[in-house]
Amino acid sequence: MPDHADDLDSPLGERALSKLRWRCRRGLLENDLFIERFFQRHEADITIRQAQALDTLMDLSDHDLLDLFLQRKEPEPAWAGADVVDLLRLIRV
């Protein structure tokens, strides 16, 4: 039986990637710029785990998301696990 963690580290399928890109459209241009740069750099190897972390970030308001991208604040442990923290590192670079 395959390990569930291995499933999460599998590459995201083309259809799921398309849906994720649509979900990541934001109201603030600054957020869109961070997200678009992330997709340009990592689109070919985004994993299911990273997609789930990005989905968690998309539940935030635009201003809270921008504060995270600009490192004005760090994610709260109550909603952000290690996967979200790792993804933020990739986005912020």
3-state secondary structure (DSSP) of residue 48: helix
What is the domain-level CATH number for residue 32?
Answer: 1.10.150.250
pTM above 0.85, yes or no: yes
List the domain range (segments joined by +) for residue 20.
Answer: 4-92
3-state secondary structure (DSSP) of residue 90: helix
Query: What's the total number of domains in the chain?
Result: 1
Instruction: Report the distance separating Cα 48 and Cα 10, nearest Å.
Output: 6
pLDDT, tens digit, 9 for 90 and up, residues 35-77: 999 999 999 999 999 999 999 999 999 999 999 999 999 999 8
Q: Are 53 and 86 in contact (CB under 8 A)?
A: yes
